[in-house]
Amino acid sequence: MADKAATTPGSNRPSLELHVPEPKFRPGDAVDFGHIAIPSAEGQKRPDEASEPRDLSEYPYGLVRVLGDDDRAHGEWDPKLDPETLRTMLRNMALVRAFDERMFRGQRQGKTSFYMKCTGEEATSVAAAMALASDDMVFPSYRQQGILITRGYDLVEMINQIYSNKGDKLLGRQLPIMYSSREHSFFSISGNLATQTPQAVGWAMASAIKRDSRIAATWVGEGSTAEGDFHSACTFATVYNAPVILNVINNQWAISSFSGFAGAERTTFAARALGYGLAGLRVDGNDALAVYAAQAWAANRARANGGPTLIEYFTYRAEGHSTSDDPSGYRSATEREEWPLGDPINRLKKHLIAIGEWDEERQAEMDREAAERVKAATKEAEKNGILGHGMHHPFRTMFQDVYEELPWHLKEQAEQARHEREVKWPEGKPE
């Protein structure tokens, strides 16, 4: 378009032209990710956690990696985790994947209205959560079920919430998969994009004001970094030196819009840190050891009052955006297989095998146990009901817990609803 010689009528100045980002591959196209630069695992030095953001200007453009092509750990970013910790990390990721598979099938069977898988992105929540303290406050997006599972949240409780049944602690008031757990320092998930980022920064500021030792971490998709809330969060984080980690999950797609619409054609998402005076890192999001190392680096920095960090985890959304999405309508079917950074679970498995701490037989057994554990939890949760089967919280609870004293107009609505139910079911409808 730029080489056209069109001019504005009555002027010798060239006409302006609008650029509309376009993904490299569409359905039916052959896929070649050769344009993605992947440095060696030894490529980047690990800077001091007290470094000034201006001294870290190269890191938003690189790619922190630990696992090499030989499946071994390399370089200064190697967190040197012991084999048992690595097996725990692998087990948590396998459990997340098994959970996703079961819940996806449940939605297709009509047991719930909605679900979102995180296939291919498990490391960005599991490994990151393991690098934080268990009481650090997390402000997740809707694809971080791995944090709750890593922190030991009961699977039955998670499924109750997904089914919105009578066992749902959130009383059916949240969209399925929008969990909340004060006990696990897991802030309520919101369907409004990027609202969790200023909330995380505000919480971190409050923690610093109270002279507490807990930090905050938040997760947001790369598409949501185009929201104003994200930029407000960056401003407040750097101005007040908030002890917070801003995790950007660049999985290449925001629903059906590719990352270019959020700015990926021009620069990396980690590079946004530079304009705000934040420390910024760009990390291989499918390398569980690199994810752990980067999150631990940022957490140590925040705890030492070194300031906030913005981390871009470069990964790939292997499945649809949600159960309401069909990715075959907007991207090539071969992208998943061609993605050059592989699968996080497979890469960690191969690393453990390479160092003599694992084998395919134990992997198969672990996968089987994870599937059986999720199956048992599902059957237990289904005793509390599934979508459309009437086993839900009492009708009256929809008017509770919002106001200390119910206002007149809601009292009127509650009474009208009660009357209509009595007319429709004169012999009484089960609560």
Which residues contact residue 366 at a Cβ distance below 8 angstroms, ignoring those fewer than 6 apart?
A: 90, 91, 94
Contact indicator for 318, 98 with CB cutoff of 8 Å: no
296 membership: H or E segment, kind and range: helix 288-303
Q: Can you name the residues that pair with 312 across neighbouring β-strands?
A: 248, 282
Maximal C-alpha separation, the chain:
82
CA dist 200 and 48 (Å) reads 25
What phi, psi does 133 have (nearest 5°)? Answer: -75, 150
311 membership: H or E segment, kind and range: strand 309-314
Q: What is the pLDDT of residue 385?
A: 96
One-letter amino acid for residue 127 of the chain:
A
Radius of gyration of the chain (CA): 24
pLDDT, tens digit (0-9, with 9 covering 90-100), for 289-344: 999 999 999 999 999 999 999 999 999 999 999 999 999 999 999 999 999 999 99
**The two three-digit tokens of residue 275, written as one number:** 């304009």
Q: What is the pLDDT of residue 6?
A: 55
Q: What is the pLDDT of residue 1?
A: 46
CB atoms within 10 A of CB 20: 7
Digitized pLDDT (tens) for each residue of the chain, 431 residues in all: 455 555 556 678 999 999 999 999 999 999 999 999 999 998 789 999 999 999 999 999 999 999 999 999 999 999 999 999 999 999 999 999 999 999 999 999 999 999 999 999 999 999 999 999 999 999 999 999 999 999 999 999 999 999 999 999 999 999 999 999 999 999 999 989 999 999 999 999 999 999 999 999 999 999 999 999 999 999 999 999 999 999 999 999 999 999 999 999 999 999 999 999 999 999 999 999 999 999 999 999 999 999 999 999 999 999 999 999 999 999 999 999 999 999 999 999 999 999 999 999 999 999 999 999 999 999 999 999 999 887 888 878 888 888 899 999 999 998 998 888 888 888 766 55
CA dist 61 and 46 (Å) reads 14
One-letter amino acid for residue 4 of the chain:
K
Which residues contact residue 350 at a Cβ distance below 8 angstroms, ignoring those fewer than 6 apart?
A: 71
Pick from 287, 321, 324, 349: nearest CA to 79? 287
Q: What is the pLDDT of residue 431?
A: 55
Contact indicator for 319, 120 with CB cutoff of 8 Å: yes
Q: What is the pLDDT of residue 417?
A: 87
Tell me the helices (H) and strands (E) count for the chain, helix number first: 12, 7
Q: Would you call 218 helix, strand, or coil by DSSP?
A: strand
CA dist 252 and 262 (Å) reads 10
pLDDT, tens digit (0-9, with 9 covering 90-100), for 251-263: 999 999 999 999 9
For the whole model, what pTM was predicted? 0.94
Q: What is the pLDDT of residue 430?
A: 55
